[in-house]
Amino acid sequence: MAKAFISDWAKVGIEIEPLEKERATWLEDLGTLNFDLNMQTNATPTGDADYTLNRLYTCAAERMGYCNPELDKILADARASLDQDERKDLYAQAIDILWADAPGMWPVDIRANVAYRKGVTGLELPATNRPNFDTVVITE
């Protein structure tokens, strides 16, 4: 994916030198905003929008070089609410702000694929996109 982006950017005069980092270095650089461009996959293992949105896009997160107090208020209200319909509405407002402000690009949605043979039961891909094999049964 990165190679395809780099190739396309080169066509419009944007030269990128990719630098793959070991995770500890990458996390340190991410936390100190020591990067010009950062490409990463990002999953929400909890299945709750709060996990990613509060972790990356609040002013306090200081992860993206981005701060919008209006977004912070909406995310705080969503986090505090137990009403799922209210949370859905608040997160929709948050997404509208993020799309308008564009603190990042979201060019693809990475999905896991699961294939299995006859005799395998109990395997489902949950909303978190991370299979849980605790319920899998394999028979001959």
71: three-class secondary structure by DSSP: helix
pLDDT tens figures, 51-91: 889 988 999 988 778 999 999 999 999 999 999 999 999 99
Determine contact, residues 75/98, Cβ cutoff 8 Å.
no
pTM for this prediction:
0.68
Determine contact, residues 106/56, Cβ cutoff 8 Å.
no
pLDDT tens figures, 84-132: 999 999 999 999 999 999 988 777 767 777 777 888 988 887 777 777 7
pLDDT tens figures, 15-42: 999 888 998 998 899 888 888 888 877 6
Alpha-carbon distance of 61 to 31, in angstroms, equals 9
Q: Cβ-count burial of 113 within 10 angstroms (0-12 exposed, 13-18 middle, 19+ buried)?
A: exposed
